[in-house]
Chains A and B, each alone.
Chain A
Amino acid sequence: MKLFTFLISFIMITITTSSAQQRLLTRNGTVSFFSKTALETIEAHTQTAASVFDKQTGQIEFRVLIKSFEFEKALMHEHFNENYLESDKFPKSVFEGRIDDPLKVDFSHEGTYTQPVTGQLTIHGETKKITTPVIFVIQKTSVNAVAEFSILLADYKISIPGIVKDKISKSVNIRVKLKYETAPL
């Protein structure tokens, strides 16, 4: 009986430990975006993105609160939240996707892999399918995922009023940096 109990406990601990290691998370990922025109460069950053990454299935999800983005100028911050992204109505932006071929990333050794990730990106209540190359850096105690891609504001029904139209680019560059702590390799 004691042996049976021990075996069951051992098996359960092994399963939960390995699934805990399989599913990585970060609570303070970085998301930045840049808009560049002849008139002005606008950028905003946040270090509050939450993300879960399943190494086995290759599924990645990240969420960010629109109000967390910080701008240099207060007026831009206000217009961004009140008018362009309407953050009271649409408080979060979400990405849910998957590495196209997760087997191409070897998580058991240190290394760098660039692999396409495809998923659904939701901004301002609009969802669009995107595919972007992501650089995975496997280190001794962390996995870093970095992606850079562009979006068209019109795709997410983000409209910029005529008066400042020339100051904001129609396509905006987004950079995501997620660092997941792992058990040592």
Chain B
Amino acid sequence: MKNWIRRYQIVILIGLGILAVAATYGFKEYNRKLPDTHQLKADFQIEAVDFVRQFEADGSSATTQYSDKVIDVQGFVSSVEVTDTSGTVFLNGGSSKSSVMCEFGQKTFQEIKELRIGERIIIKGVCTGYLMDVVMVRCVLTDKTSVFPELVFFAALF
């Protein structure tokens, strides 16, 4: 028995090693959480008004293009709703009654408490489609005071 183990000890060690790696990988994969949106790179950058317009013009095409994608949406705050554990920011959809609705979860809703109506902001989130508004989930605030580069240029002239 002992001879057998001694002879194959390298094989056994390698086998145990592989099992340990597989088990660690399996455990990590099983417990993997959805990534923090702050860490994700945006697939698209879009104006809120344009975002709404695209869904209203051709909902199924816009859904195919944007669903499950990380989007940086820039727009004006039309309303903010905050509860004890979550928040929703609506970005103005222009002449449409619809908005871009951005859901902030338990870990990120504190970011939106200070937002004011009319403020221009950029929100990064994952688009899931369109109901009464364009729906974005797992949202984070990226830049509260963004202005277009052109405006900065003009401001610099004066």
Contacts and interface: CB of A to CB of B under 8 A. Distances in A.
B32 interface: yes
Interface in A8-27: 25, 27
Interface in B76-134: 81, 86, 88, 90, 101, 103, 105, 128-129, 131-133
Interface stretch (A63-71, A111-119, A143-151): A63-71
B124 to A, nearest CB: 16
Interface in B119-156: 128-129, 131-133, 135, 137-138
Contacts of A47: 86, 88, 103
A91 B129 contact: yes
A27 B133 contact: yes
Contact of A48 (B29, B31, B131): B131
A75 B30 contact: yes
Interface of chain B: mostly helix, strand, loop or mixed:
mixed
Contacts, number: 65
A27 B67 contact: no
Contacts of B34: 70-71, 74, 77
Contacts of B35: 74
B47 interface: no
A169 interface: no
Interface residues of A, number: 22
Interface in A49-85: 49-50, 63-65, 67-68, 70-75, 77
B135 A68 contact: yes
B32 A65 contact: no
- Chain B contact-residue range equals 20 to 34
A35 interface: no
B136 to A, nearest CB: 9
B6 interface: no
Contacts of A132: none
B4 to A, nearest CB: 35
B7 interface: no
B63 A91 contact: yes
B2 interface: no
Nearest to B32: A74
A28 interface: yes
A77 B30 CA distance: 11
Contacts of B103: 28, 46-48, 68
Interface string A121-137: 00000000000000000
A44 to B, nearest CB: 11
- Lowest 4 A-B CB distances belong to which pairs? A50-B131, A67-B128, A50-B132, A68-B128
Given A28-B103, A74-B34, 5 more contacts: A27-B132, A46-B103, A65-B129, A65-B131, A71-B34
21 contacts: A25-B132, A27-B88, A27-B132, A28-B81, A28-B88, A46-B103, A48-B101, A48-B128, A65-B135, A67-B67, A67-B68, A68-B103, A68-B128, A70-B105, A70-B137, A70-B138, A74-B32, A74-B33, A75-B29, A77-B34, A92-B129
